[in-house]
């Protein structure tokens, strides 16, 4: 029996090149070796307000792009989180064994609440969903009892909380769930913003030149690469002190399936103009290829998501039932 991997992408914005390099590409490479359960995290998108029509579009785009990028529905289970009611039901059970202190220590919660705008009377409106988000993430994982969870570096703290909750669940209720281990891509695990290479490339960035979106016009994406922030040295080599150059080298290496060192060697004796030109053309060609497939996969969403729902529901409902019995709910 293959070991299981669970992962999902929140439907809060458009998928970026960073999502592909840091997450999806790695899943494609693993789909023959592991039993993958991959979902569009539409419930997580509700932690802050999102326009309903935008959410519907985001969901479809992400699902279609999963397929267009190369995930094979014959090998992996693809589904929408909200199609499996067990996610919401287990969320409440897991929330009940999660402590306030554990949630308040989550750095993502602290970061996101800093951007909350005060109302006219001076009070702040912080959605409860933003606070308990890690409990739902833990429920998403526990439902499928995986060996590994594919996560970005920024989600590692949430997974550590999940591990702690699984221990608590097993010890207090005599259960035997796996303590899931993180699976983080070795290269490109955190592709940076093109305009501020100290920040990650985000699918919800307000500066459109900061991110390359998988559905960007390819020519527009090429131009974004030409505008990418670098430095004044005009020498290409691997260094944490050159975040803009390191970011472009990482993108090049990832799309070429070579190491960073090989990318560095490729650009030996070349300048920043050469680097941006080659990376720009590579990204442009990649997007053209993905987008041709995307138009076809849009038509397959209903059929494939229905099959994914049936597969995921079977396992999720079995594990939920065991937990409900352990809690005295059955």
Q: What is the pLDDT of residues 141-162, one digit of tens each?
A: 999 999 999 987 778 888 999 9
Tallying the residues shown for the chain, one arrives at: 330
**Does 139 share its domain with 180?**
yes
* 198 φ/ψ angles, rounded to the nearest 5 degrees: -90, -10
Nearest by Cα to 148 from 269, 2, 247, 20: 2
Whether 196 is in a domain gets the answer no
Among candidate residues 200, 224, 242, 284, the one labeled active-site is: 200
Crossing angle of the two packed helices 128-142 and 156-173, in degrees rounded to 10: 60
CATH code, 90: 3.40.50.620
Q: Say if 185 falls within a structural domain.
A: yes
pLDDT at position 123: 58
315 and 251 together in one domain = no
> Is there a single domain that holds both residue 147 and residue 234?
no
* Residue 112 designated active-site: yes
Given the residues 25, 203, 242, 309, select the one marked as catalytic. Answer: 203
Residue 225 confidence (pLDDT): 97
Q: Let me know whether 68 and 173 are in one domain.
A: yes
Does residue 202 fall inside a structural domain?
no
pLDDT at 47: 87
Q: How many domains does the chain have?
A: 2
Verify that 228 and 110 share a domain, yes or no. Answer: no
CATH number for the domain spanning 251: value is: 1.10.240.10
Q: Considering the domain boundaries, does residue 94 fall inside one?
A: yes
Structural domain for 227, as ranges = 218-294
Low-confidence stretches of the chain (pLDDT < 50) are 117-119
Q: Which secondary-structure segment (H or E) carries 183? A: strand 181-183
**Predicted local confidence at residue 106, as pLDDT:** 80
Give residue-wise pLDDT tens across range 21-37. 988 999 999 999 999 99
Q: Is 227 a catalytic residue?
A: no
With respect to residue 175, please indicate whether it lies within any of the assigned structural domains: yes
Same domain, 175 and 234: no
Active site includes 25? no
């Amino acid at each position: 029996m293959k070991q299981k991997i669970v992962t999902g992408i929140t439907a809060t914005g458009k998928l970026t090149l960073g999502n592909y390099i840091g997450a999806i590409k790695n899943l494609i490479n693993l789909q023959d070796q592991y039993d993958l359960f991959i979902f569009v995290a539409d419930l997580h998108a509700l932690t802050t307000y999102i326009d309903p029509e935008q959410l519907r579009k985001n969901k479809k785009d992400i699902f279609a792009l999963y397929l267009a990028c190369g995930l094979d529905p014959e090998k992996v289970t693809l589904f929408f989180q909200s199609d499996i009611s067990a996610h919401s039901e287990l969320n409440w059970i897991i929330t009940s064994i999660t402590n306030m202190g554990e949630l308040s220590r989550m750095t993502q919660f602290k970061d996101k609440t800093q951007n909350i705008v005060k109302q006219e009377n001076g009070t702040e409106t912080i959605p409860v969903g933003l606070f308990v988000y890690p409990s739902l993430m833990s429920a998403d994982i526990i439902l499928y009892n995986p060996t590994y969870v594919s996560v970005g570096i920024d989600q590692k703290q949430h997974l550590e909380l999940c591990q702690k909750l699984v221990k608590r669940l097993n010890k207090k209720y005599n259960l035997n769930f796996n303590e899931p281990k993180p699976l983080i891509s070795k290269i490109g695990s955190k592709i940076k913003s093109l305009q501020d290479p100290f920040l990650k490339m985000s699918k919800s960035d307000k500066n459109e030149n900061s991110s390359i979106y998988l559905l960007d016009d390819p020519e527009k994406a090429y131009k974004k690469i030409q505008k990418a922030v670098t430095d004044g040295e005009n020498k290409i080599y691997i260094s944490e002190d050159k975040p803009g150059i390191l970011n472009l080298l990482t993108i090049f290496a990832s799309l070429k399936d070579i190491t960073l060192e090989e990318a560095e060697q490729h650009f030996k004796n070349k300048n920043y103009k050469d680097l941006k030109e080659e990376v720009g053309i590579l990204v442009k060609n990649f997007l053209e290829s993905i987008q041709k497939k995307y138009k076809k996969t849009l038509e397959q969403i209903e059929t494939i998501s229905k099959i994914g729902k049936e597969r995921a529901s079977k396992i999720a409902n079995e594990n939920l039932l065991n937990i409900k019995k352990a809690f005295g709910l059955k």
